[in-house]
Structure 1
Amino acid sequence: MWVGIGVFLAGGLGALSRAGVDALVKPWWSRRVTGSSKAFPASTFLINVSGAFVLGIVTGYAVKHTAGGAQDFNAIVGVGFLGAYTTFSTEEWHTLGLLRKNASVEAFNMLGSLCASLVLAALGLWIGSLL
């Protein structure tokens, strides 16, 4: 039961963190980029790849330390916080919007995000297994 409450609370913090990163990155990206690249969903990209990296670390740690609540920690941080912080559906929504605007080059963000997320998740898993 306590893990469920932890997941619930961590999910709220993850959603707030996502909104905060989005609010910081969007204006920063818009001021620095001109032209059609402004349409690139930089905040969603950053959120998803950073979340994959942290999930790798948390999972690597939990796999190495199976006792002492590491699995509960993995559920609370991995499912709760990072589940709310990252979202594949937002990335799909941004990509479909770019395709509808004929911004096909920027729409490749989904492939780039997937590749970067896999690499960073693997790196995080390795780092987490060292902790």
Structure 2
Amino acid sequence: MNNIITNIALVACGGAFGATLRYLIAMGMLSLFGKGFPFATLTVNVLGSLIMGAVFQIVQQETITTSPWWPLIGVGFLGALTTFSTFSMDNVLLIQQGELIKAMLNVVLNVVVCILAAYVGTLLVLKS
């Protein structure tokens, strides 16, 4: 029971930092690029995928232990930083606005670039 409570606290702590960083990135992207394309969601998803790939590889190599790092970073921080629901809503809004090409570009960029970022994250760890 104590381990579950510890993990819940780690997830909550990581989530607080991830959500805060997501908010700051969103505000920065909006001020830089405006509302014409969902750059904020794309940025947090790519960054989160890169970090996820690196953390996964570090855990696989047993450089760090699963606990406390996975609940803190993998579940809490990255779970709050990245967002599938916002990605989905961004696309719904683009489609409703008649921006089909932007919606398709957003889907392709999020899927392809995020998978590549996760792969690069694993490579960064393997090469170090």
Q: TM-score, normalised by structure 1?
A: 0.86
Letter in 2 for 1:9: C
Tell me which amino acid in the other structure corresponds to 1:26. L
Question: Could you list the runs of 4 or more consecutive aligned residues of structure 1 that deviate by over 6 angstroms after TM superposition?
Answer: none
Question: Which residue is 1:41 aligned to?
Answer: 38
CA displacement, residues 13-65 of structure 1 (integer Å, 9 cap, x when unaligned): 111110010001111012xxxxxxx5210111111011100111111101101
1:63 alignment counterpart? 60
Counting only pairs closer than 5 Å after superposition, residues 69-80 of structure 1 correspond to structure 2 as 69-80=65-76
Report the Cα offset of residue 126 of structure 1: 2.1
Question: Residues 66-121 of structure 1: CA distance to partner in whole angstroms, max 9, x if unpaired?
Answer: 7x534431221010000000011100000010000000111020221110000010
Partner of 1:100: 96
Tell me which residue corresponds to 1:116: 113
TM-score by length of 2: 0.88
- The answer for unaligned runs of 5 or more in structure 2 is none
Aligned to 1:84: 80
From the superposition, tell whether residues 10 and 54 of structure 1 become closer, same or farther in structure 2 (CA, over 3 Å).
Answer: same
Q: Which residue does the alignment assign to 2:47?
A: 50
Cα distance change, pair 129–4 in 1 and its aligned pair in 2 (3 A): farther
- Within the candidate set 116, 120, 125, 2:122 is matched to 125
